[in-house]
Structure 1
Amino acid sequence: MQRPTTVTRLITRKNALDQSRIEHEQRSLSPAAGEVILKIERCALTTNNITYAAYGNSMNYWGFFPTGLADWGHVPAWGFADVVASDVVGIKVGERFYGYFPIASHLWMRPERVTERGFYDGAEHRQGLTSAYNQYTRCSWDAYYHADTENLQILLKPLFLTSSMLADFLQDNQLFGATRLVFSSASSKTAYGTAVCLENQPGLERVALTSAGNKAFVETLGCYERTVSYAELASLPNDRPTLYVDFSGDLDLRDHVHQHFAGNLVYSCFAGSAQSTDEARLTAIEGPQPVFFFAPIQIRKRNAEWGPEGVSQHIGEGLQQFYRQVTAAENPLLNVVEGAGYEAAQDVISRLFHGQVPPVEGHVIRLV
């Protein structure tokens, strides 16, 4: 029996995401039969995490890491963790894994489908949840893993996975006949990642919709043919088939876009909520009703058609190119800000919730 260790967790009030608290308890690091214990070393915090929390009830993101408290939840985050105890054949103490974690010091897991690639957490409470979030990748297996780009991986891979699969979905459907794509919250990494993946599409105009304060930043991205502020929406011509890619979740903006493009709006894709922390609503005042894009569905389709290795290669190669673009010395688009400890995580979550983090910043929190 090992001596007890201090287990720390940061929990967040489900209906007030800028309210959180740090808790400590003493637990033994002795795994039960079939268990492993991972110590979480670092995680990334972006608007994506606020989206997970905002849709925590409707899409059951709160269900991945139950707190035992009805009103408080774990905001999920992508990160790296090391095995500190194992009762599972094929998983050794000291191995490092990439995956979906709570903002906490440790996670008790029940690995299933253990392979060279990694494992799935088979904990009972995760059985009915989206399997893509239950998969943990062994760093020693991942050909695209490099220790010196860990921060970029946890900041950009979850976002770029959505970007890559969304671009693939749109191309798979011939852009629904559109020759103009309008992106809201165009400064978000997932939005401009999607625009980057849609380069070299003949005759396609990619239009950025953004706040006045972020307009100058968006114009430096180089992946949109045109950038306009939200107040300038009416200046966009309505002269060609248009597809709206909504990364903002702003219902009033959505209605304005639908009304402005009217009969030329061929498809409305709801891809996220960088500006809204309300529950997702798939409504519009007129025109095509918004359709929610969920990356795991497109991944499942491509897994069947390309095989998992083909999907991993498609995302991995695209991600390496994206790394190079956002870190290019002549025009860096991402400033990695590394913080330490749970108080730092509290501060970043609150600032993300209130829209106070500049789009050029990417925050990583070291927990040990």
Structure 2
Amino acid sequence: MTEVTRLYTDRNDLGATREVIEPLPAIEDGQVLVRIDRLAVTTNNITYAAFGDTPHLRYWDFFPTGEPGWGQMPAWGFADVVASTVEGVNEGERFYGFWPLASHWVVTPVRVTERGFYDGTPHRLELTSAYNQYQRVTTDAAYRPEDEDYQMLVRPLFITSFMLADFLTDNAFFGARRVLFSSASSKTAYGTAFCLQDRQEIEIVGLTSAGNRNFVEGLGCYDRTLDYDAVETLDVDVPTVYVDFSGNDDLRARIHHHLPQTLMHDCYAGSAHSHDHIGARGSQVLPGPEPKTYFAPTQIKKRNADWGPAEVTRRFNEAQLAFIRCIGHPERPWLLVEPHQGVRSAQPLIRALVDGQVDPRIGHVVILG
């Protein structure tokens, strides 16, 4: 193959994309060319794009296009080395990591170890290092070839879920006896509920739309499921933590006004449908605690200090494998994988994700190889 196919996204209209075909680049000393094989494309990717210009995130800066107003949306998945000038990174090796929606990409491996490498391309050095790390599948204790699609679909989200569950536990649920999740049908929300489902002292309540209620109830990880219009039926005397996956200001206001004395903590954990950062649409004064943004790397850093990185990885791998076994259970799967072939196939999918028209039961995988 002598060409690279890329998908560019209009940064002012995330559902608008165009295919770009360019000559395959030649690599220089210290560089590696990979062929991107498969990527998970989910609401998570739309969130990356929506927060692409946020100063501490800067998702658009990972894979620059050089064209004003256009970006390459990042996604998690697997790629194979097709050419290498770097010792310790060999042709044919397979790596999991953060890639653009493209058929090929060039990386500059540094800090090469048995585990993998970091991309040391100069423009990435000032970006969040967790997104610059590429894991060899041969040394990943949680990797299973048959689980690749599920790993792509849930691992980036499940690290947020796992550490969020740990954050809540670490803080003794801020004195609450009930945890209330919005967007309960989102993978990050039910991943967190999965990690908390054995804690008998806490009631886990999922809020969702009427159309998704049967799906959420069928998951079995929430103690109770409510439609959004039933928020005001919640017992006002139960100390509650609100975990916000929706980013819906009106819903947040309803919860604060309904539980003005017993809302112990408001945790903004990411937006499944709205792409406005918390507080960006005004400074609405609410009764109860000020909403706080949860950032998984902060809890990871704390636990690396508490437990050591090896133990954090061991606990996460164990939980992730259990979660994948649950969501991919052959008799009662929580998530069905739907493949899409080629870069172009991602275009209608991205539009549907931006418009909120994707069934939460379906996990979408774009096959590029």
Which residue matches 2:285? 285
Which moved further from structure 2: 72-81 or 325-334?
325-334
Which residue matches 1:157? 155
> Separation in 2 of the partners of 1:284 and 1:166?
26
What is the DSSP-based 3-state SS (H/G/I as helix, E as strand, rest coil) of the residue aligned with 2:274?
coil
Contact 2:236/2:259 (8 A) holds in 1? yes
Which residue matches 2:15? 18
> Separation in 1 of the partners of 2:135 and 2:170?
28
Deviation at 1:278, TM superposition (A): 2.5
What is the DSSP-based 3-state SS (H/G/I as helix, E as strand, rest coil) of the residue aligned with 2:193?
helix
Which residue matches 1:347? 348
Contact 1:99/1:136 (8 A) holds in 2? yes
What letter is aligned with 1:322? F
Residue 331 (1) aligns with residue 332 (2): yes
Contact 1:284/1:290 (8 A) holds in 2? no
Deviation at 1:38, TM superposition (A): 1.1
> Separation in 1 of the partners of 2:342 and 2:323?
28
Q: How does 1:250-261 map to 2 (within 5 A)?
A: 250-261=248-259
Q: Call closer, same or farther: CA 1:72–1:197 in 2, change over 3 Å.
A: same
Contact 1:46/1:352 (8 A) holds in 2? yes
Which residue matches 1:298? 299
Contact 1:259/1:285 (8 A) holds in 2? no
What letter is aligned with 1:10? L
Deviation at 1:329, TM superposition (A): 3.1
What letter is aligned with 2:37? E
Deviation at 1:36, TM superposition (A): 0.9
Which residue matches 1:311? 312
Which moved further from structure 2: 325-334 or 123-132?
325-334
What letter is aligned with 1:25? E
What letter is aligned with 1:295? A
Which of 40, 53, 56 matches 2:52?
56
Deviations 1:208-263 (A, max 9, x none): 10001001111111111111111111111111110000000111111111111111
What is the DSSP-based 3-state SS (H/G/I as helix, E as strand, rest coil) of the residue aligned with 2:200?
coil
Which residue matches 2:71? 73
Deviation at 1:200, TM superposition (A): 2.1
Which residue matches 2:188? 190
Contact 2:9/2:72 (8 A) holds in 1? yes
Deviations 1:272-313 (A, max 9, x none): 110102344376531211111111121122222222221111
> Separation in 1 of the partners of 2:328 and 2:65?
37
Which of 82, 85, 91 matches 1:84?
82
Q: How does 1:196-235 map to 2 (within 5 A)?
A: 196-235=194-233
What letter is aligned with 2:349? V
What is the DSSP-based 3-state SS (H/G/I as helix, E as strand, rest coil) of the residue aligned with 1:128?
coil
Which residue matches 1:246? 244
> Separation in 2 of the partners of 1:269 and 1:43?
29
What is the DSSP-based 3-state SS (H/G/I as helix, E as strand, rest coil) of the residue aligned with 1:17?
strand
Which moved further from structure 2: 99-108 or 272-281?
272-281
Q: Call closer, same or farther: CA 1:100–1:177 in 2, change over 3 Å.
A: same
What letter is aligned with 2:47? T
Deviation at 1:331, TM superposition (A): 2.1
Aligned-residue sequence identity (percent) comes to 53
Deviations 1:100-131 (A, max 9, x none): 00001111111111100001111111111111
> Separation in 1 of the partners of 2:122 and 2:278?
27
Which of 31, 36, 41 matches 2:32?
36
> Separation in 2 of the partners of 1:270 and 1:55?
14
Residue 367 (1) aligns with residue 363 (2): no
What letter is aligned with 2:50? A
> Separation in 2 of the partners of 1:303 and 1:115?
19
> Separation in 2 of the partners of 1:307 and 1:111?
25
TM-score (norm 2): 0.96
> Separation in 2 of the partners of 1:253 and 1:342?
36
What letter is aligned with 2:351? S
Which of 24, 33, 41 matches 1:45?
41
Deviations 1:32-68 (A, max 9, x none): 1111111101000111111101111113111111111
What is the DSSP-based 3-state SS (H/G/I as helix, E as strand, rest coil) of the residue aligned with 1:100?
strand
Residue 27 (1) aligns with residue 24 (2): yes
What letter is aligned with 1:316? N
What letter is aligned with 1:158? P
Which moved further from structure 2: 298-307 or 56-65?
298-307
Which residue matches 1:237? 235
Which residue matches 1:135? 133
What is the DSSP-based 3-state SS (H/G/I as helix, E as strand, rest coil) of the residue aligned with 1:362?
strand
Structure 2 regions of 5+ residues with no counterpart? Answer: none
What is the DSSP-based 3-state SS (H/G/I as helix, E as strand, rest coil) of the residue aligned with 2:91?
coil
Contact 1:254/1:284 (8 A) holds in 2? no
Number of matched pairs = 364
